[in-house]
């Protein structure tokens, strides 16, 4: 796999008006072609030096004045000669400069991600860093930005290297014993424990894919529960603006509303859903059906219960979430105490958590489990009772936000996560499976089988680092990049 010899060109900034627009060229003819657009630049410009230059058309008429930067191979992003023209950000001007560069037959338009692909093929970055470039461009939360930046700095590459290097050494030892038994005698003595240790490292990395998805795509959290529980008011409070229509009439919310927020750097999409109740109207029933469908797709469901809800009723609402994790709270804590004085209700004062103590996640404390997740066991409520919140006054809302993040994330900081993608997880799964077979082979089979399985593990892991990767896989990876990157 080697890059072709063509010089490529593309706009490296968005095709919209702005203060600055950048035209980027990479390849053997980059400097010569760029100097045709900026003839005032010396024939052998100083690398990494910004020249103030006039950009001209084919007849020498000045189109703009800007900066000319030359990065000499191999000390450039792509490993090739690279030139950037920094002009004013007029889309029409930039298209004129792009067309001028393409007049040279040695130049063609860059494909999506081709600059980064050439950097990978020239050994300037490994595949994990290349993917981190796309993650950084696509990042839409602080956690995603910081995690992608860590990946670009080599955080994931280092983790992969710490697995790949000893795995390669183990494979070399095994092959040495097979091919040179006298010279390499004893090199396979600890093969079983070495394989087991490497397998646990692969499984630990694979386990981080869930967190990586939360950082990349953001978390999805739905507020749900019976009608008139205060869901829409709480939704508005959490979002910070009046997005949902609020009224005392039951069934006001007919369809799911969504809003994007960022909590402690993690992107969260909140959903306000139609209230659940028996015998709704036809249109309201459609909204309830959508609520149940949405609950199956979110990462966390927040069950908002009205004051005075009995434990039996609350357990029934919990089962509506299916297998989705649930966090229960009692809404409308601003309602007078007499409104929730019913004996045995989840919102009565006895046993209720104080406001600000934080909502109890379902699954911590008394385990509220639904039929789908528990093989038919009845749902139970947390004890003490769910904490109370008020979307109207804001009481308990900060604690709820903290509890939601804790339920989604657990410990640690979202921005510190290693961005293990689904693609990485699949390769790590195959790595771990091959190492599992190798561990078994170390006990009951031949050295040839053991070495073969270790080789398969190494090949699968190479799909993450890029040491063993096909052109087809590279095509798939770099298609998600923007043109010019």
Are 70 and 112 contained in the same domain?
Answer: yes
Asked if the structure places residue 379 within a domain, the reply is yes
Task: Check the annotation: does 231 bind a ligand.
Answer: yes
Are 73 and 163 contained in the same domain?
Answer: no
Asked if the structure places residue 159 within a domain, the reply is yes
Are 284 and 404 contained in the same domain?
Answer: yes
Are 255 and 403 contained in the same domain?
Answer: yes
Q: Which of 377, 318, 382, 307 is nearest to 349 (CA)?
A: 307
Does pTM surpass 0.75? no
Task: Check the annotation: does 370 bind a ligand.
Answer: no
Q: What is the CA radius of gyration of the chain?
A: 30
CATH of the domain at 175: 1.20.120.430
Total Cβ atoms within 10 A of residue 400: 24
The length of the chain, given as a count of residues: 485
Asked if the structure places residue 49 within a domain, the reply is yes
Are 404 and 428 contained in the same domain?
Answer: no
CATH of the domain at 279: 3.40.50.300
CATH of the domain at 109: 3.30.1360.120
Are 386 and 243 contained in the same domain?
Answer: yes
Asked if the structure places residue 2 within a domain, the reply is no
The residue assigned the tokens 């921005």 is 415
Contact predicate 206/226, CB 8 Å: no
Asked if the structure places residue 479 within a domain, the reply is no
User: What order do you get walking across the sheet with 82-89 strand by strand?
Assistant: 50-56, 62-71, 82-89, 18-26, 7-11, 107-109
Domain boundary among 103, 123, 143: 123
Task: Check the annotation: does 232 bind a ligand.
Answer: yes
Measured at the CA of 304, the angle between CA 303 and CA 310, to 5 degrees, comes to 95
Are 156 and 111 contained in the same domain?
Answer: no
Are 151 and 68 contained in the same domain?
Answer: no
Asked if the structure places residue 477 within a domain, the reply is no
Are 172 and 187 contained in the same domain?
Answer: yes
Task: Check the annotation: does 45 bind a ligand.
Answer: no
Domain ranges, residue 303: 217-414
Asked if the structure places residue 481 within a domain, the reply is no
Task: Check the annotation: does 332 bind a ligand.
Answer: no
Per-residue pLDDT of the chain (485 residues; tens, 9 = 90+): 556 689 999 999 988 899 999 999 999 999 999 999 999 999 999 999 999 999 999 999 999 999 999 999 999 999 999 999 999 999 999 999 999 999 999 999 999 989 999 999 999 988 888 888 888 888 888 888 888 888 888 888 888 999 999 999 999 988 888 887 766 566 667 888 999 999 999 888 888 777 788 888 889 999 998 888 888 889 998 988 765 555 454 444 456 788 999 988 889 999 998 877 665 555 556 667 788 888 888 999 999 988 887 888 888 888 888 889 999 988 888 774 544 444 345 544 333 333 333 333 433 333 343 433 334 334 445 555 678 888 888 888 999 998 998 888 876 666 556 667 778 888 889 999 999 999 999 888 888 899 999 999 999 999 888 888 778 878 877 877 777 77
Contact predicate 303/225, CB 8 Å: yes
Task: Check the annotation: does 275 bind a ligand.
Answer: yes
How is residue 54 written in tokens? 């006039």
Asked if the structure places residue 172 within a domain, the reply is yes
Domain count across the chain = 3
Task: Check the annotation: does 485 bind a ligand.
Answer: yes
């Amino acid at each position: 796999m080697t890059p072709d010899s063509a010089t490529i060109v593309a706009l490296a900034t968005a095709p919209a008006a702005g203060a600055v627009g950048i035209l980027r060229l990479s390849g053997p003819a980059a400097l010569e072609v760029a100097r045709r657009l900026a003839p005032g630049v010396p024939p052998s410009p100083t690398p990494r030096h910004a020249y103030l230059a006039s950009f001209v058309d084919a007849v020498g008429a000045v189109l703009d004045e800007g900066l000319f930067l030359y990065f000499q191979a191999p000390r450039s992003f792509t490993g090739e000669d690279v030139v950037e023209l920094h002009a004013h950000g007029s889309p029409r001007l930039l298209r004129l400069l792009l067309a001028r560069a393409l007049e040279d037959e040695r130049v063609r338009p860059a494909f999506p991600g081709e600059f980064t692909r050439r950097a990978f093929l020239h050994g300037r970055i490994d595949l994990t860093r290349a993917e981190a470039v796309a993650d950084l461009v696509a990042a839409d939360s602080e956690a995603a930005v910081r995690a992608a930046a860590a990946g670009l700095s080599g955080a994931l590459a280092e983790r992969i290297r710490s697995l790949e290097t000893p795995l390669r050494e183990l494979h070399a030892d095994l092959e040495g014993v097979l091919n040179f038994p006298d010279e390499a005698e004893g090199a396979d003595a600890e093969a079983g424990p070495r394989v087991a240790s490497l397998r646990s490292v692969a499984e630990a990395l694979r386990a981080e894919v869930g967190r990586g998805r939360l950082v990349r795509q953001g978390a999805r959290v739905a507020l749900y529960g019976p009608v008139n529980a205060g869901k829409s008011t709480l939704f508005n409070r959490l979002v910070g603006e009046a997005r949902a229509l609020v009224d005392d009439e039951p069934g006001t919310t007919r369809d799911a509303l969504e809003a994007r927020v960022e909590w402690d750097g993690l992107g969260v999409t909140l959903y306000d859903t139609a209230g659940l109740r028996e015998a709704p109207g036809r249109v309201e029933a459609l909204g309830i059906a959508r609520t149940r469908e949405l609950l199956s797709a979110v990462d966390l469901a927040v069950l908002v219960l009205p004051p005075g809800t009995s434990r039996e009723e609350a357990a029934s609402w919990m089962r509506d979430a299916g297998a989705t994790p649930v966090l229960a709270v009692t809404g409308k804590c601003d309602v007078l105490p007499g409104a929730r004085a019913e004996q045995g209700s989840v919102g009565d004062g006895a046993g209720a958590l104080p406001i600000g103590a934080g909502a109890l996640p379902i699954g911590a404390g008394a385990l509220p489990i639904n039929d789908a997740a528990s093989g038919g066991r009845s749902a139970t409520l947390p004890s003490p009772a769910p904490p109370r919140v008020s979307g109207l006054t804001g009481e308990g809302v900060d604690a709820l936000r903290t509890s939601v993040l804790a339920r989604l994330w657990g410990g640690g900081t979202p921005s510190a996560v290693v961005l293990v993608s689904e693609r990485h997880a699949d390769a790590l799964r195959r790595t771990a499976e091959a190492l599992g077979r190798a561990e078994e082979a170390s006990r009951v089979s031949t050295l040839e089988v053991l070495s073969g399985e270790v080789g398969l593990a190494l090949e699968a892991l190479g799909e993450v680092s890029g040491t063993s990767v096909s052109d087809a896989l590279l095509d798939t990876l770099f298609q998600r990049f923007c043109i010019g990157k």
